[in-house]
Structure 1
Amino acid sequence: MTEYERSRTMPARPEQIFDQAAHVDQLDEWLPGTLHVRAGDPPAVTVHEDRHGEDTRALLQARPEQLRLEWGTRDQGSYAGWLQVAGLDSGASEVTVHLSFFDAGHDPGRQAVHDALDSSLRRLEEQVRLHVDDTAD
Structure 2
Amino acid sequence: MTEYERSRTMPALPEHVFNQASSVDQMDDWLPRSLHVRADDLPAVTVHEDRSSEDISALLRAQKDQMRLEWGTREQGSYAGWLQVAGIGSGASEVTVHLSFFDEADDPGAEAVHDALDQSLERLEQNVRLRVDDGTGG
Q: Note whether the superposition's TM-score is higher than 0.5.
A: yes
Q: Post-superposition shift, 1:135?
A: 1.1
Distance 1:114 1:134 in 2: 30
Q: Post-superposition shift, 1:90?
A: 2.8
For residues 37-116 of structure 1, the aligned pairs below 5 Å read 37-116=37-116
Q: Post-superposition shift, 1:89?
A: 2.2
Q: Which residue of 1 aligns with 2:6?
A: 6
Distance 1:135 1:11 in 2: 14
Q: Post-superposition shift, 1:133?
A: 1.1
- Could you list the structure 1 runs, at least 4 aligned residues long, displaced by more than 3 angstroms after superposition: none
Q: Which residue of 2 aligns with 1:124?
A: 124
Show CA shifts across 1:58-116 (max 9, x none): 00000000000000000010000000000002321100000000011110000000000
Give the letter for the 2:29 counterpart.
Answer: E
**Residues matched between the structures, number:** 136
Distance 1:58 1:35 in 2: 12
Question: What runs of 5+ residues in structure 2 fail to find an aligned partner?
Answer: none
Q: Which residue of 1 aligns with 2:33?
A: 33
Distance 1:84 1:24 in 2: 16
Distance 1:122 1:89 in 2: 20
Question: What runs of 5+ residues in structure 1 fail to find an aligned partner?
Answer: none
Give the letter for the 1:25 counterpart.
Answer: D
Give the alignment's Cα RMSD to 1 decimal: 0.8
Corresponding residue SS for 1:28: helix
Corresponding residue SS for 1:135: coil
Corresponding residue SS for 1:42: coil
Of all paired residues, the percent bearing the same amino acid is 74
